[in-house]
Amino acid sequence: MFLLFKDSVIARNFAIKNPENYEARANMMWASSLAHNGLTQCGRFLQINRNVCKP
């Protein structure tokens, strides 16, 4: 999880310095996609699902 955050910060810094840098923007989007898909939750003993619909 920490490496994912670290990579997104590095890519953010490159993207701010040069907004036309496609690779930096793509790395930011890839890291955010992995985080939103729940990859950072893998390996935990207890996963809490906050989006459960109750009848």
pLDDT score recorded for residue 23: 92
Place of tokens 């992995």: 34
Q: Is residue 53 part of a domain?
A: no
pLDDT score recorded for residue 22: 93
pLDDT score recorded for residue 3: 74
Q: pLDDT tens per residue, the chain (55 residues)? A: 677 778 888 888 999 999 999 999 998 888 888 777 766 666 555 556 666 666 5
**Model confidence, pTM:** 0.59
Q: Is residue 10 part of a domain?
A: yes
Q: Is residue 48 part of a domain?
A: no
Q: Give me the domain span that covers residue 13.
A: 2-41
pLDDT score recorded for residue 28: 87
Q: What is the dihedral of CA 44, 33, 13, 4, to 10 degrees?
A: 20
Number of domains composing the chain: 1
